[in-house]
A and B are shown apart, each in its own frame.
Chain A
Amino acid sequence: MSKRYAFHVNMALCIGCDTCAMACKNQYHQEAGIVWRKVYPVSEAIYPHRDRAWMSLACNHCDNPPCLEGCPASAYTKRDDGVVVHHPDLCIGCQQCLHTCPFGVPQYNPHTKKAEKCSLCWERLDAGLQPACVQGCPTGALTLVDLETFDDPNAIQFPPGFPHLPEVGPSTRFTLPEQPKIVRRES
């Protein structure tokens, strides 16, 4: 059976340390201003403490990737293992994918005049290595899972604050953050 690779973002373990985002830059040397993985703070409406719960997001490597469907240059392919790869050599820089991706993943690089995004470190995967961000995560909050075998009962596909788009089928899975008992100073 073929694999279906996905990121599992365990927000209960995530400390928002930005290591994953920097590990990606370290590997791909994106120019200043271009970030493939970003660690977003969860809004206070969802988690009651500002900048204390985080959602580390890159490409969601969707089941039905709108970037691929809308690309006039066939610059996107979906591999058998689920990875949605962007091919810069085919990309014509039309920016269609920037509009069709509901998660705002592809970024336009004004220097190369092409789109770019996380392709799940497919070269590293093929070499038997973990994606750079996953290898870098110091707390085990970001892992690579195979959805064919992944059966964590606490993991969900659409946490609060993440676009609810079942028809697109984003592969990323989430575990929600927890809250400590808080004893504030009596002032």
Chain B
Amino acid sequence: MSLWWWLGGEVGPDAALTFTTPGWLFGLAAAAAMVTLFVTWRDARRFPPVGVELLCLALALSVACFAAAGPVWVEQAGHREPPRTVLLIDDSRSMGVLEAGEPRGARALAEVMDRVPSDRLEVFRFGRELTAGGEPSFEQGSTDLAQALRGVSERYAGERLAGVIVLTDGLDRGGMRARYTNEDSPEPPRLPGPLTVYQAGVPGELDDVSVVSVNAGGFGFMHSPFTLDVTLAAPGFEGRKVPVSLTQDGRLLAQRDVALGQDGAGKVNFSVKPNKSGRFVYEVSVPVWEGDAVPGNNTMPVAVRVVRDRLRVLQVCGSPSFDQKFLRLFLKQDPAVDLVSFFILRTHEDTRSSYDEKELSLIKFPYEQLFAEDLASFDLVIFQNFDYRPYFQELAGELLGNVATFVKEGGAFVMIGGDRSFDEGDYQGTPISEILPVTLGAGSPRTDSASFQPRLTGPGRVHPVTRLLGDATENEALWGRLSALDGLNLSAGPAPGSAVLLSHPTLRTQKGEPMPVLAVREVGRGRTMALLGDSTWRWIMAEAALGQGNQAYLRFWKNTMRWLVKDPEGDRVQVAAARENFLLGEDVPLSGACARRRLRRRRGRGHRGQRPVRRRGGDLRHRHRQDRRGAHPPARRAPRPLAREGEGHERRRRRLGRGRDRLRRDRPRPRARRAQPGRGLLGVARPVRQRHPLHPRRLRPAPARRRGRPPRA
């Protein structure tokens, strides 16, 4: 034991003395000891002998100082562990591909486990994230090999591993493959041990028919065909024919046989002509063959947003008037409307002046072509103060019947009042009376010419047609101050199944109900509206006189058109996802708006039921997580505003990965063909729009013209 030992040096290879007290503290204790020794020596000079005492004191002080220095005796002992081995298993879905009836990942893992000693083996699974332990399920949605290797390096920093074993099929989605492909000398990952890779799967032995991609462009136009381009890949099925099916909501739209090339690839396209606007899911599928490695990739849904190119409106007016003028201006100025107007400028009664026909710029009113041939090409038909009798009284059954059929099969119809409308137009007993929202046969008188302020009814307070302002109180106040109407066509009351939105403040029907002013109705798959006055134009001019503008009139008619043609933009409940596709397990933010304070979100098959979603300032916010692949339509329903008048259930769809859930069937709206070039209504060089060949609208052709003088328009 040397002096060096006492000063804290190493005594041997595994032992040492160390002092834990700070040096300044030890110095302070030593100084105090020296002072004590000096004072004692100075006082002890009077009392000899002092040498022994001083020596004892010096020893005591030295021991005290040593103790104060905090001596620690350190001995090191131990033994070396053998390095560990890390196994990284690719847990992505591609590892679940069946080979000889078994997932390729499971086969490869069994072979690896036979070769690697398991006593020092640590197992991790990776997809998008690195997870310690657990049995691989081969269900993760992605493969990020670089992220997994980085995670291992950080976890075992400073430790040398015996090896890092990666078990994968090489289908990396994290960018590592791209980096090695695109860069000349990519920097290899830093690993705590040598890397060994086992590749799962045997090239050339995979038999798999799959739908690789379906490209639809994202949106299409109503009544115009769009193309779905489908790409197939089928290794193991080279040269064979594969039937490819296109379905919408479970309804088969088309099926084609595709001859696969020698490389197993195939392409096919489908032409689809949607008849409704909204978001729809089309699904392309190929059959699951025996030995098909991945049955899950045999179908692929694609969401397509269908929008109207333009709304086709037919406005037929029996007499030019201020009301007709302002409605036409509104319709013409709306870029979303394709308007066809026919105004009766002269009737048989207006021939009291001696003008020659050649002086006139009038044309024949083509009522037969309109109501027998071209009717199906329109979305909305407006009879504005129009009396059919001078033109086709003998054909009323056929032509007006066509209008009724048009509505029942999904069209929209509006009758606007005047001295030629409703009972004044003698529509009672015609097919039109069956679709009107009011019952004809008011008796006498048929009209009331007194000015009146229409009153908003209970259904009118919540109906989208009469909702001119978002706030209910403000909306009612606005209706209360709009200009009065000049007169009213009287009726026997609302028709069954209709809803009265505006009523007369004092007049009553024979049953004692308030006299309808504005009523709506759903007839079959279509909708109708009756406006029993002819002076809504005053809502523009009276408001303009007050400096208020024409917004009330514009909103009223815009609401009307949206509701009549079932425009999804006019739905009271709007729900949309941030984007079309989401990964499994990813949060899906849903947003929207609802006219009501409370909305119940009805969930589809396999969901847990309804969940109320509250709105904040008119907006809806909801977060949803989906753990199943496929298209998931969040069906939502707001309380119906009326007992007899429904908004229906509006739907939006979003797609989540591949595959789909069962969607509710949308009723197709069969349409007959549009006007053909050269024989169309207008003779316009317009693209010919073919209707769905399987569902022609059943319109009765008009019989050969009979007698009668042609009216002029």
Do A and B belong to a common assembly? no
